[in-house]
Amino acid sequence: MKKLLEKIRKILRDRRIRTLLTRVVSMISAIIVFVTTYALILPAITLEKQAACGIEEHQHTDECYEEELICDLPESEGHQHTDSCYAVKSVLSCDVPEHVHDEDCYDENGELVCEKYEHSHDGACYQEVKELVCGIEESDGHTHDASCYEKVLTCGKEVHVHSAECYKTEDDTDSQSEDGNESDPAAADDSREDDLDDAWNRTADDSGNASIEDDADTVQNESLC
214 within some domain: no
Q: What total of structural domains would you count in the chain?
A: 1
Considering 3-12, 27-36, 92-101, 106-115, the range whose residues carry the highest mean pLDDT is 27-36
| Cβ atoms of 76 and 142 closer than 8 Å | yes
C-alpha distances in Å from residue 212, one per residue of 58, 199, 208? 63, 20, 6
Domain boundaries, position 9: 1-49
Q: Which residue has the higher pLDDT, 203 or 92?
A: 92
17 within some domain: yes
149 within some domain: no
Side chain identity, residue 134: C
pLDDT 10s digits, 153-189: 999 888 988 888 887 766 655 555 555 555 455 555 5
Taking residues 59-63, report their average pLDDT: 91
pLDDT 10s digits, 122-140: 888 998 888 889 888 888 8
Residue 94's nearest CA partner among 62, 63, 117 is 117
12 within some domain: yes
Task: Identify the pLDDT of residue 64.
Answer: 93
23 within some domain: yes
141 within some domain: no
15 within some domain: yes
| Average pLDDT score, the chain | 78
5 within some domain: yes
